[in-house]
Amino acid sequence: MIINYKQPYWVKYEWDLSDHKDDQYVTNFNKIESEKIKNLFHQDRYSMTIDFKLDLNLESDNIFCIFGKPGKNFGLTYNKQADTLALEVWTKGVTKVAGDQFNYLAFQGVGYNELKNGSVITVVRDYEEFIIYNDFEKCGSIEFDKNLIDDYRDEGLLLGTGNPGTLVPEHRYNGSYEINSLFFVEDIIDIDISKKIYNTPTEKLIELDEYKNIIFNYDFNTINNQGIIYDNSSNNFFVEKIPTEFIQ
Amino acid sequence: MSEVIGNNFKEIKKKLDKVGCGFCLAKWTQVTMHLNDGTTHSCHHPAPHKIGLREIQKDPTSLHNSITKKKERKEMLEGGRPDACSYCWNIEDNSDSFSDRVYKSEEEWSKPYFDEIKNLKWRDNFTPKYVEVAFSNTCNFKCAYCGPSYSSKWVEEMKEHGEFSTGDGFNSLEELKRQDMVPIPQREENPYVEAFWKWWPELYQELDTFRITGGEPLLAKDTFKVLDYIIEQEEPNRNLKLSINSNLCIEDKLFDKFLEKARKIIDEGRVKEFIVYTSVDTYGKQAEYVRTGLDFEKLFKNIDTLLTELPKLTVVIMSTFNLFSPFGYEKLVKKVYDFKLKHFNTERYWNSPLILDTSYLRYPSFLSFRILKGYLNVEYFERIEKYMKFFSTYRSLNSYKMENTTDTGFSLKEIEKITRIKDIFLKDIENNEDFSKSKEKFLNYTKDYQKRRNLDCVEYFPELKKFINNDY
Judging by beta carbons within 10 Å of its beta carbon (0-12, 13-18, 19+), is residue B44 exposed, middle or buried? middle
The answer, yes or no, to whether the previous bond of B128 is cis (omega within 30 of 0) is: no
Can you give the pLDDT at residue B394?
53
Inter-chain touch A19–B395, beta carbons under 8 Å? yes
DSSP-derived 3-state class of residue A241: strand
From A178, A177, A176, A182, select the one nearest A219 (Cα to Cα). A182
DSSP designation for B265: H
Q: Identify which of B377, B391, B394 has the shortest CB distance to residue A24.
A: B394
**Cβ distance B371 to B467 under 8 Å?**
no
Inter-chain touch B393–A26, beta carbons under 8 Å? yes
ipTM rounded to 2 decimals: 0.93
Inter-chain touch B379–A206, beta carbons under 8 Å? yes
A177 close contact with B: CB closer than 8 A? no
DSSP-derived 3-state class of residue B167: coil
Alpha carbon of B339: minimum distance to chain A alpha carbons (Å): 14
Inter-chain touch A26–B379, beta carbons under 8 Å? no
For helices B191-206 and B221-232, angle between their N-to-C axes, nearest 10 degrees: 30
- Residues in A closer than 8 angstroms to B379, CB to CB, are 206, 211, 234
Please list, in sequence order, all residues whose beta carbon lies within 8 angstroms of the beta carbon of residue B349, skipping any fewer than 6 positions away: B272, B273, B274, B275, B312, B313, B314
Interface test with chain B among A14, A16, A17, by most B beta carbons within 10 Å: A17
DSSP-derived 3-state class of residue B136: coil
Which pLDDT tens digits describe chain A residue by residue (248 residues)? 999 999 999 999 999 887 654 444 455 678 899 999 999 999 999 999 999 999 999 999 999 999 999 988 899 999 999 999 999 999 998 877 778 999 999 999 999 999 999 999 999 999 999 999 999 999 999 999 889 999 899 899 999 999 998 888 888 999 999 999 999 999 999 999 999 999 999 999 999 999 999 999 999 999 987 789 999 999 999 999 999 999 98
Inter-chain touch B334–A203, beta carbons under 8 Å? yes
Alpha carbon of A171: minimum distance to chain B alpha carbons (Å): 35
Residues in chain B, pLDDT under 50: 1-2, 395-400
Q: Identify which of A17, A26, A228 has the shortest CB distance to residue B395.
A: A26
Closest residue on chain A to B377 (Cα):
A206
- Residues in A closer than 8 angstroms to B386, CB to CB, are 17, 236
Can you give the pLDDT at residue B441?
97
C-beta neighbour count of B96 within 10 angstroms = 6
Cα-Cα-Cα-Cα dihedral sign, residues B219, B221, B223, B228: positive
Residue type, B235: E
Q: Could you read off the pLDDT of A74-111 as tens digits, one per residue?
A: 999 999 999 999 999 999 988 777 789 999 999 999 99
Alpha carbon of A199: minimum distance to chain B alpha carbons (Å): 16
The answer, yes or no, to whether the previous bond of B43 is cis (omega within 30 of 0) is: yes
Inter-chain touch A27–B380, beta carbons under 8 Å? no
From A82, A90, A48, A46, select the one nearest A66 (Cα to Cα). A48
Can you give the pLDDT at residue B351?
80
Inter-chain touch A225–B383, beta carbons under 8 Å? no
Interface test with chain A among B325, B332, B390, by most A beta carbons within 10 Å: B390
Inter-chain touch A225–B387, beta carbons under 8 Å? no
Inter-chain touch A225–B393, beta carbons under 8 Å? yes
Can you give the pLDDT at residue A24?
45
End-to-end CA distance of chain B: 41
**Total beta-carbon pairs less than 8 A apart between chain A and chain B:** 51
From B317, B303, B318, B307, select the one nearest B349 (Cα to Cα). B307
Can you give the pLDDT at residue B397?
40
Inter-chain touch B406–A17, beta carbons under 8 Å? no
Can you give the pLDDT at residue A25?
47
Inter-chain touch A17–B409, beta carbons under 8 Å? no
Alpha carbon of B309: minimum distance to chain A alpha carbons (Å): 26
A230 close contact with B: CB closer than 8 A? yes
Alpha carbon of B350: minimum distance to chain A alpha carbons (Å): 18
Inter-chain touch B389–A203, beta carbons under 8 Å? no
A238 close contact with B: CB closer than 8 A? yes
C-beta neighbour count of B299 within 10 angstroms = 21
